[in-house]
Amino acid sequence: MSAPRTSPFPDFYDINDLLTEEQRLIVSSVREFVTRQFAPVINRCYMEETFPIDKIKSIGAMGLLGGNLKGYGLAGMDAISYGLVMKELERCDSGLRSFASVQGALVMYPIHEYGSEEQKSYWLPRLGSGEAIGCFGLTESYGGSDPGAMTTTAVLKGDKWILNGSKMWITNGSLAQIAIVWAKTPDGIRGFLVPTNAKGFSAKKMTGKLSLRASVTSELYFDNIELEKSAMLPKSTGGLKCPLSCLTQARYGIAWGVLGAAEACFDEAVNYVKDRVVFGKPLAAKQIVQMKLATIASRLTQAQLLALRLGQLKESGKLHHSHVSIAKQNNVQFALETARTCRDMLGGNGIMIEYQAMRHMCNLETVYTYEGTNDIHLLIVGSEITGIQAF
Ligand code: TGC
Ligand code: FAD
């Protein structure tokens, strides 16, 4: 006997039923907020290669910046709620989720985890409210996949750190008041809090991106910047382990976030093929179109369940970074392929900005590459399976 199916697409397996009342409320309120605040401006931002910076304090007021961190006036939400927030932001645009990922997982998290009490109590409330914006500088120009080969240095001269070098592909770089910069010191790789108004700091916005256009990406330059001794994150010891632990937080959010982009494309395509009549019938009545939709629904359900289990592992403290690699790699690849298939089902209309599929598809090319490329995540999992690093 078959029970009546109660859950509407794209929640085919009624995953909503596995959420708490509070988590469902977070989804509906963030969706309403994003629809009201960001959806009306996202196409213009995308076309103009800008980020709607004037709206950041409203995201802060909703508790969505560093929303999974505890104390310092932050929301302290559970891992699944945080994932659901990322999903709702990326349903609008990957650039919006990126902003929140960088601010929360790559700037606030390292301060929360590795900072002094003074650094935490000064920066976390400001970053959480959106009063201050941060960026995270790890990648350099010659090969982002291998951050250990960085050439940026910090050396102690008297009671000051002297910072020299450059970073590339830095999200929010020219919007930020504070940069978390990872640099080589005689004592290994350490994190520094660098005010962007420091003498010797400059940021240059990168233009001409064909992906993630509603997000500001910059190059950062450090020319003999003098920093107080207290600018270092005191607990950021252990080589790359600390910056990599921040990436784990951001990659977790991406594994959830891309589901929002995929669901938005799927919803749009389903509505489109029901209306669009070709050869005398709606496209939805064609077997090949139904096969495409059914394949997406099946893979979407798998990706949703993967994210949910990932959230449970994180919440129970059992999360290993290779769990996150599997979810980031699988869900981003799925979302990218889905956006492309949906773009195809819209025909010529699919290349127009009035429809979202192509914008999401182009964005997801970046998401496929940043925070560890697709290949790098497969290699991380490969090294867990075999015990042999093949980077
Ligand atoms: P490896 O020898 O593998 O590891 C060194 C130590 O770190 C530990 N570890 C991790 N810990 C926490 N989280 C992770 N993800 C970790 N990965 C490794 C590891 O267990 C080890 O600990 P221990 O105790 O044994 O010392 O390090 P490796 O130098 O060989 O690097 C390996 C590799 C290639 C996987 C790593 O370098 C890597 O992940 N490369 C990709 C770089 C990357 O993802 N960059 C992203 C830059 S930020 C960005 O893109 C922001 S986009 C904006 C947005 O998020 O929206
Ligand atoms: P490369 O490392 O040169 O890789 C090129 C190709 O080689 C890829 O296909 C890769 O998979 C493959 N490859 C690399 N190594 C291996 C290997 N060992 N075996 C087999 N194949 C390999 N970084 C930050 O620090 N902060 C940010 O805020 C940030 N924001 C970004 C925003 C955008 C829009 C983009 C595009 C990037 C951002 N990045 C940021 C950088 C991002 O993390 C890097 O682009 C990424 O890590 C890949 O590095 P790369 O571009 O140098 O490519």
Instruction: Check pocket membership of 143 for ligand 2, CB cut-off 6 A.
Output: yes
Distance from the alpha carbon of residue 195 to the mean position of ligand 2, in angstroms: 25
Residue with tokens 């601010």: 103
Task: Give ligand 1 pocket residues (Cβ under 6 A).
Answer: 98, 101-102, 136, 138-139, 144-145, 147-148, 171, 240-241, 244-245, 247-248, 250, 321, 370-372, 376, 380, 391
Residues 235-260 have a mean pLDDT of 96
Token couple for 343? 């773009």
Residue of 139, 151, 206 to mutate, ligand 2, most atoms within 8 A of C-beta: 139
The number of beta carbons lying within 10 Å of the beta carbon of residue 74 is 21
Domain extents for the chain?
Answer: 15-129, 134-231, 241-386
CATH class of residue range 15-129: mainly alpha
- State which ligand 2 atom lies nearest to the alpha carbon of 215: 34
Does the structure show a pLDDT above 70 at 4? no
Does the structure show a pLDDT above 90 at 184? yes
Does the structure show a pLDDT above 80 at 3? no
Confidence of residue 359 (pLDDT cuts 50, 70, 90): very high
Residue-wise pLDDT for 311-339, tens only, equals: 999 999 999 999 999 999 999 999 999 99
Asked whether 307 and 326 are in contact (CB, 8 A), the reply is: no
Angle at 171 between CA 166 and CA 173, to 5 degrees: 55
Residue-wise pLDDT for 199-216, tens only, equals: 999 999 999 999 999 999
Residue 229 burial by Cβ neighbours in a 10 Å radius (0-12, 13-18, 19+): exposed
Ligand nearest to the CA of 137: 2
Distance from the alpha carbon of residue 185 to the mean position of ligand 1, in angstroms: 18
Residue-wise pLDDT for 302-312, tens only, equals: 999 999 999 99
Instruction: Check pocket membership of 138 for ligand 2, CB cut-off 6 A.
Output: yes
Residue-wise pLDDT for 286-297, tens only, equals: 999 999 999 999
Residues with Cβ within 8 Å of residue 343, at least 6 apart in sequence: 265, 350, 351, 357, 358, 361
Distance from the alpha carbon of residue 260 to the mean position of ligand 1, in angstroms: 25
Residue-wise pLDDT for 41-80, tens only, equals: 999 999 999 999 999 999 999 999 999 999 999 999 999 9
Instruction: Please give the DSSP secondary-structure letter assigned to residue 371.
Output: S
> Is the omega angle on the peptide bond into residue 4 within 30 degrees of 0, that is, cis?
no
Residues 248-274 have a mean pLDDT of 98
Does the structure show a pLDDT above 90 at 8? no
**Domains 134-231 and 241-386 agree in fold:** no
Distance from the alpha carbon of residue 240 to the mean position of ligand 1, in angstroms: 7
Does the structure show a pLDDT above 90 at 2? no
CA–CA dist 17, 7 (Å, integer): 9
Fold adopted by 241-386? Butyryl-CoA Dehydrogenase, subunit A; domain 3 (1.20.140)
Q: What pLDDT is attached to residue 5?
A: 62
Residue of 247, 251, 329 to mutate, ligand 1, most atoms within 8 A of C-beta: 247
Ligand nearest to the CA of 381: 1
CATH superfamily of 134-231: Butyryl-CoA Dehydrogenase, subunit A, domain 2 (2.40.110.10)
Instruction: Please give the DSSP secondary-structure letter assigned to residue 117.
Output: H
The catalytic residue positions are 371
Does the structure show a pLDDT above 80 at 356? yes
- State which ligand 2 atom lies nearest to the alpha carbon of 102: 28
Ligand nearest to the CA of 238: 1
Share of the chain above pLDDT 70, in %: 98
Distance from the alpha carbon of residue 329 to the mean position of ligand 1, in angstroms: 14
Distance from the alpha carbon of residue 15 to the mean position of ligand 2, in angstroms: 33
Share of the chain above pLDDT 90, in %: 96
Residue-wise pLDDT for 94-122, tens only, equals: 999 999 999 999 999 999 999 999 999 99
Single pTM value for the model: 0.98
